[in-house]
């Protein structure tokens, strides 16, 4: 017996405009409501990607305490 419960498609909010989108094969742009919204969001991501700090382990920050540096005279 294969009793599979019929569940309604999950509805999510479009990350771009907030419109309800059925999370199902019927919505090719899910979780976005349309291709336009998907592009808008991808564009936002792309512009934010440029601001990702690439030098997080920069060894020149006096504020990053934790490990004592025995080779550095008081600046
Ligand atoms: Zn949208």
Q: Mean pLDDT for each consecutive 10-residue tract of the chain (75 residues)? A: 77 94 92 93 73 64 66 67
Q: How far is the centre of ligand 1, averaged over its atoms, from the C-alpha of 15 (Å)?
A: 7
The confidence score (pLDDT) of residue 71 equals: 73
The confidence score (pLDDT) of residue 29 equals: 93
Note the pTM of the prediction, 2 decimals.
0.50
The confidence score (pLDDT) of residue 47 equals: 76
Q: How far is the centre of ligand 1, averaged over its atoms, from the C-alpha of 26 (Å)?
A: 15
Q: How far is the centre of ligand 1, averaged over its atoms, from the C-alpha of 8 (Å)?
A: 21
For residue 11, give every residue at least 6 positions away whose Cβ sits within 8 Å of its Cβ, in sequence order, or none: 20, 21, 22, 23
Q: How far is the centre of ligand 1, averaged over its atoms, from the C-alpha of 5 (Å)?
A: 30
The confidence score (pLDDT) of residue 60 equals: 65
The confidence score (pLDDT) of residue 4 equals: 77
User: Beta partners for 2?
Assistant: none
Pick the CATH number of 10-49 from 3.40.50.1450, 3.30.70.520, 3.30.50.10, 3.40.50.2300: 3.30.50.10
The confidence score (pLDDT) of residue 34 equals: 95
């Amino acid at each position: 017996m294969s009793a599979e419960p019929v569940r309604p498609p999950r509805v999510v909010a479009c990350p771009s405009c907030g419109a309800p989108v059925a999370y199902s094969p019927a919505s090719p742009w899910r979780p976005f409501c349309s291709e336009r919204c998907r592009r808008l969001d991808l564009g936002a991501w792309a512009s934010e990607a440029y601001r990702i700090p690439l030098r997080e382990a920069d060894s020149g920050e006096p504020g990053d305490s934790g490990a004592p540096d025995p080779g550095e005279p008081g600046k």
